[in-house]
Amino acid sequence: MANDKRVRHILSLSGGKDSAALALYMRDRVPEMEYIFSDTRKELPETYEYLERISSYLGKEVTRLNADVGFDHWYEMYGGMIPSNHRRWCTRALKLKPFEQHCGSDEVVNYVGLRADEERSGYISHKPNIKPVYPFKEDGLILRDIEEILRSSGVGMPPYTKWGRTRSGCYFCFYQQKIEWVRLKETHPDLYDKAKAYEKPYEKTGNFFTWSQGESLTEMEQPARVEQIKREHVIRIERKVARKENATLREVFAEADRGEQPDEDDDQGCLVCHL
- Contact residues for ligand SF4 (CB under 6 A)? 40, 83, 90-91, 94-95, 169-170, 173-175, 270, 273
Identity of the residue, 148 or 193, whose beta carbon is nearer to ligand SF4 in the bound complex: 193
Least Å distance, CB 47 to ligand SF4, is 10
Least Å distance, CB 168 to ligand SF4, is 7
Identity of the residue, 238 or 267, whose beta carbon is nearer to ligand SF4 in the bound complex: 267
Least Å distance, CB 105 to ligand SF4, is 25
Identity of the residue, 141 or 158, whose beta carbon is nearer to ligand SF4 in the bound complex: 158
Identity of the residue, 94 or 237, whose beta carbon is nearer to ligand SF4 in the bound complex: 94
Least Å distance, CB 211 to ligand SF4, is 9
Contacts of 64-70 spanning 24+ positions with Cβ under 8 A: 64/36, 64/37, 64/38, 64/39, 65/36, 65/37, 65/38, 65/39, 65/98, 65/99, 65/101, 65/102, 66/38, 66/39, 66/40, 66/41, 66/94, 66/98, 67/39, 70/39, 70/40, 70/41, 70/42, 70/94
Least Å distance, CB 59 to ligand SF4, is 28
- Rounded Cα distance, 107 and 5, in Å: 8
Q: Are 117 and 147 in contact (CB under 8 A)?
A: no
Q: Nearest 5 degrees, angle CA 41-CA 65-CA 102?
A: 155
Phi, psi angle pair for 131, to nearest 5°: -105, 115
Count other Cβ atoms within 10 Å, centred on residue 143: 18
Least Å distance, CB 88 to ligand SF4, is 6
- Rounded Cα distance, 6 and 51, in Å: 27
Q: Which residue is nearest to ligand SF4 (CB)?
A: 169
Identity of the residue, 88 or 230, whose beta carbon is nearer to ligand SF4 in the bound complex: 88
Identity of the residue, 35 or 175, whose beta carbon is nearer to ligand SF4 in the bound complex: 175
